[in-house]
């Protein structure tokens, strides 16, 4: 998906992927927390970042849309500091218990040095990898690997018959996970749930079955 596709979604408020409540597996994720700092790629204005930021010393995130970054803080009635950093705007809030920096711009161009959260982090992926078509997946994963030498990735996936729906979202099954993360030290399925109502965030998907899973991937 190109940048214009996502900018249009935000400008026209077509953000059915945005979940209006916290993800029910955040407590399970907390039990497997492995590092002090968290990275959230393609973060949108995910509410999950608030409880997650309370559990980590620092949270850094990446998001293309200015609207998402502005609304994330506005809806929480908090005022971020906004700095221009080359091709990016950095929205940051350092107020206990939060240390949040959202880098507004292209995830694929970010460097570890910019993020300043170290080489060993936890990563929370909700609706990031599944937002990307198969052709962009390898670049997405290889950028994660370039950004962080060691990581514990919490990856939420959806599985369905892709013939029934043109993405996003894109279905990701165990085989894709194993291929994409063949370099990882371990891959563990932490949870899986059949979404019988076929509801993903604010969308009802026209598919005959829908399964959400949470993988724990370490490298």
Can you tell me which of 49, 64, 141, 217 binds ligand SAM, judged by CB under 6 A? 64
Q: Which is nearer to ligand SAM, 3 or 116 (CB)?
A: 3
- Asked if residue 72 binds ligand SAM (CB under 6 A), the reply is no
Closest CA to 100 of 120, 124, 119: 124
Interface with ligand SAM in residues 180-219 (CB under 6 A): none
- Asked if residue 17 binds ligand SAM (CB under 6 A), the reply is yes
Enclosing H/E stretch for 123: strand 120-125
- Asked if residue 6 binds ligand SAM (CB under 6 A), the reply is yes
Residues 6 or more apart in contact with residue 144 via CB below 8 angstroms: 41, 123, 151, 153
Interface with ligand SAM in residues 78-137 (CB under 6 A): 106-108, 126-128, 131
Enclosing H/E stretch for 9: helix 3-11
Please tell me the count of residues contacting ligand SAM according to CB under 6 A.
Answer: 21
Residues 6 or more apart in contact with residue 22 via CB below 8 angstroms: 47, 48, 51
Which residues are at the interface with ligand SAM (CB under 6 A)? 6, 17-19, 42-44, 46, 62-65, 68, 106-108, 126-128, 131, 168
């Amino acid at each position: 998906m190109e940048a214009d596709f996502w900018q249009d979604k935000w400008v026209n408020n077509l953000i059915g992927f945005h979940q209006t409540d916290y993800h029910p597996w955040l407590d399970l994720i907390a039990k497997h927390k492995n590092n002090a700092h968290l990275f959230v790629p393609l973060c949108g204005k995910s509410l999950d970042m608030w409880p997650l930021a309370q559990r980590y010393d620092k949270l850094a995130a990446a998001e293309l849309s200015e609207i998402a970054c502005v609304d994330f803080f506005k809806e929480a009635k908090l005022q971020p500091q906004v700095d221009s950093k080359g091709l990016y705007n950095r929205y940051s809030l350092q107020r206990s218990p939060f240390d949040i920096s959202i880098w507004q711009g292209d995830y694929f161009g970010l460097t570890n040095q910019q993020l300043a959260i170290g080489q060993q982090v936890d990563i929370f992926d909700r609706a990031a990898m599944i937002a990307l078509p198969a052709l962009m997946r390898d670049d997405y994963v290889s950028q994660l690997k370039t950004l962080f030498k060691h990581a514990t990735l919490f990856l939420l996936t959806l599985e369905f018959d892709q013939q029934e729906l043109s993405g996003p979202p894109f279905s990701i099954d165990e085989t894709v996970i194993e291929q994409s993360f063949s370099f990882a030290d371990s891959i563990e399925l932490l949870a899986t749930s059949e979404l019988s109502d076929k509801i993903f965030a604010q969308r009802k998907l026209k598919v005959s079955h829908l399964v959400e899973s949470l993988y724990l991937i370490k490298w």
